[in-house]
Structure 1
């Protein structure tokens, strides 16, 4: 590879030993908003599922409701792959402006849908923006957050998805109630919330720098050093310890496809299997429940469609509290132990709840309570999947690796689950739905087994220690 230069850099060590500061909070808020936006979008899709089947709205069938969710996820898959590659090639900062703009356009257009086809296309565009966000933002956050708190911060940020879900639920209680807003207008206004939040996110991201680690790898170490020095000046960071060693690399302009393929498929194949298992199982588990919860409450418990959003609030609260209260354990007890425990326990609890559902002993309230308890655990598990794939691969392919495993996991677990469970609920069979819950539960237990087998103990380790950059080869 031409124009490669050998350099030594303290950038990773300097970033990892920074004390927590307002600068880190700016990163968390402005970049972490991605998950709030995704939670908002998915909640709206779930809560609007019943409303959009009415003739005064879009008049969708149950199958089309499920298909529109699949279009959103398919767009997310394609967006993740496209923008994930672009993030590694052109930089984190450029792409996290592009991806949020794509999201903003898609969600704004969704408000003006006139039939199933237009709605499906606009949801796919929205999904493409969100999928790209996952790749661009996860890589940037991991590279900017100190190693000692990376686990808890990542989990809490991923858990903020459910803040968006709560906002969506509260909004639908008002916007989908015909006493406040006409049915034909309320669902369109709901999508305006996402567009407004997207504009706010763009405003705050102006102050986020390019990842110094990315600049270092791409031969722009002086820029990287300047960014870190400015942050150190702002927050009064202490000098480096004698034990903080520099990293030696050969700079590069880009990473060839062949080298990326070899790294993911050959050199790190066990980690690839781990990422695939964790992402696929949690995606199926989550989407099986969440994209269809409104239909379950309405069809099996007789909950009025305008009140469905209220049942999501305790569900969302459990999902926020899980990563918030359990996150620090992933940095102290350890990644491997906590991921295994949360995946396994989430699967067992869903199987138990499914049995109670089939036995007919649950009400809408107790079903919601059971989901809240399950996803208190499952939210930490799912967040740890994103944490895992964002920290166990080399810097040069981090965003693409996130994109690949997000895409595969979503295709395997996310695209199929809404269609399958939409069909199951359409049958009206309690027994068939119970079997579906058992499948989702078994997949989570399988994820726990894989983690126990080949999980990576990455707690409090620098990213370069967990996975040496490809740029260190040949030195």
Structure 2
């Protein structure tokens, strides 16, 4: 195996080449294990959100087993799910930076599984609402724990595309949720009060499979060497290197670059806030802009897509899943096909262009809808094109905040920007949008489209000015760790 510099320890100060060794690794089976073990939870999130949106009509019908209206599902229920996600992101984000990535991404998945199982057993409205909130609580924690772990384990050369595709895999779950709802809502197969429960039960089964795979995903070596586990980090990376060398059949090149850090157990909220907003104010504005723009577009509008089809185009509740499956596929294709460009063309050009282009296309969709030029099929086609670009942009928001702040604040930064942005667009959005679509007035729905498009374009302009050149660079080069005693590069602004 290629030689690597030993960790030199002096009391609580160590010099390590672990980040450089991780970044120079070629793609391997080990990286696929990381992607499958951590990334597949986004499929569950997509399954959850889409299923609830598509079964809204059935749950509101007599005989469903719940006394709830469609507006309550797309409004109050959606808002509570997002509120739970925000609270979970903040709570588990803090714990993730303090106690490690691995412990928390096991806990958050367990919370999700339990809450989803309880949702399937709902017998009254309060029970359904409570466990939708707790399901979101677990999913929000997943965003913080998993995005930080993925970026710290994936080589810098592939980080952008992998992060985008993983976040975009949400829409694979959305496709599954859409098709699943078609079967579940077929009363020739399942009674009204059984089919929707089985969709949540399937989410539990898939979650258990992911839990088994995730047990083999390691702790982040970057977290380990900062938090007093330098020997464990060195051993973990050494094991991975030997595994990859055996797989590739040749020795790895020597890693170049070291970093010296003062090890510490935890960092307080005051230091985190000071770092994010005082040392990196422009990056803070960038993160907030990207999250608010994408959160309003997705949480405010796609939550109500089923209602738009049934209200304006007379599509039956049992067939909305077909349409949503199409736009969900378009959403996944965006990060899949455009992801590599974020590593090659660059972050600033790709982030700004995907945001602005999706906003302009949404303005065009709103204009056509207002004129009455669209039917269910052409509306779906328009949305498919809009979301092809919007999905890549939205996924890049998670990538951006997970790589432009110091290692010690990473999970908390993801949690904070996700919570603030999602609260702005994801809690207020569904509440407002459900009333706009429920009115049955075309102008009201057009207004929601225009707001979403405006925020996406505004976020794109911010990215054009403030996005960080992070492609191909190590995380430590993009933002020097707060614990660093010496580093070859440090960036502020």
Contact kept in structure 2, 1:62 and 1:426, CA below 8 Å: no
Task: Determine the C-alpha separation between the residues in 2 that align with 1:407 and 1:233.
Answer: 40
Deviation of residue 473 (structure 1)?
4.9
Would you say 1:250 and 2:262 are equivalent positions?
yes
Structure 1-normalised TM-score? 0.98
Is the counterpart of residue 60 in structure 1 residue 72 in structure 2? no
Q: Is the 8 A contact 2:221 2:233 kept in 1?
A: yes
Distance 1:359 1:140 in 2: 47
2:466 paired with 1:439? no
The residue that corresponds to 1:324 in the other structure is 336
Where do 5+ consecutive residues of structure 1 fail to align? none
Further displaced range: 339-348 or 233-242: 233-242
Q: Following superposition of structure 1 onto structure 2, how do residues 40-439 of structure 1 map, counting pairs within 5 Å? A: 40-57=47-64, 58-65=66-73, 66-236=75-245, 238-241=251-254, 244-439=256-451
Q: Which residue of 1 aligns with 2:4?
A: none
Which 4+ runs in 1 deviate beyond 3 A? 237-242
The 3-state SS of whatever aligns with 1:420 is: helix
Given the alignment of the two structures, is residue 26 of structure 1 paired with residue 33 of structure 2, yes or no?
A: yes
> Is there any run of 5+ residues in structure 2 with no aligned partner, and where?
1-9, 488-493
C-alpha contact (below 8 Å) 1:4/1:251 kept by paired residues: no
- Most deviating of 133-142 and 426-435: 426-435
Give 1:161 shift.
0.3
Measure the CA separation in 2 of the matches of 1:368 and 1:217: 48
Question: With structure 2 as the length reference, what TM-score do the two structures score?
Answer: 0.94
Contact 1:14–1:240 under 8 Å retained in 2 = no
Task: Say if 2:63 and 2:193, in contact at 8 Å, map to a contact too.
Answer: yes
Where 2:158 maps in the other structure, the secondary structure is helix
**Partners of 1:34 and 1:134 within 8 A in 2:** no
In 1, distance between residues paired with 2:348 and 2:254? 29
Q: Distance in 1 between matches of 2:216 and 2:416?
A: 29
* 1:455 partnered with 2:464: no
What's the CA shift string for 1:421-459, capped at 9, x where partnerless? 100011111011111100100000000011011111100
How many angstroms apart in 1 are the aligned matches of 2:486 and 2:32? 38
CA distance in 2, matches of 1:50, 1:63: 9
Q: Distance in 2 between matches of 1:213 and 1:404?
A: 21
Q: 1:393-426 deviations in whole A, cap 9, x for unaligned?
A: 1000100000000100110011111111100011
Any idea what the Cα deviations from partners look like across 1:250-307, whole Å, max 9, x if unmatched? 1111112221121112111211111011011100011122100010000100001011
d(CA) in 1 for partners of 2:469 and 2:11? 32
The CA distance in 2 between the partners of 1:470 and 1:347, in whole Å, is: 37
How many angstroms does 1:63 deviate by? 3.4
Helix, strand or coil at the partner of 1:148: coil
**Counterpart secondary structure, 2:470:** coil
CA distance in 2, matches of 1:28, 1:120: 32
Q: Deviations over 1:73-120 (max 9, x none)?
A: 011111000000000000000000000000001111111111221111
Find the aligned partners of 1:129 and 1:466 in 2 and give their Cα distance.
30
State the alpha-carbon separation in 2 of the partners of residues 156 and 377 from structure 1: 13
* SS at 1:248 equivalent: strand
Following the alignment from structure 1 to structure 2, what is the Cα–Cα distance between the partners of residues 312 and 157? 20
Aligned-residue CA RMSD in angstroms? 1.3
Contact 2:261–2:486 (8 Å) recurs in 1: no
Alpha-carbon distance in 2 for matches of 1:4, 1:178: 68
Q: Conserved in 2, the CA contact under 8 Å of 1:159 and 1:323?
A: yes
**Partners of 2:120 and 2:201 within 8 A in 1:** yes
How far apart are the structure 1 equivalents of 2:468 and 2:187?
A: 51
In the TM superposition, what is the alpha-carbon distance from 1:4 to its structure 2 partner? 6.4
Instruction: Kindly state the Cα deviation for residue 238 of structure 1 after the two structures are TM-superposed.
Output: 3.8
Pairs aligned (count): 472
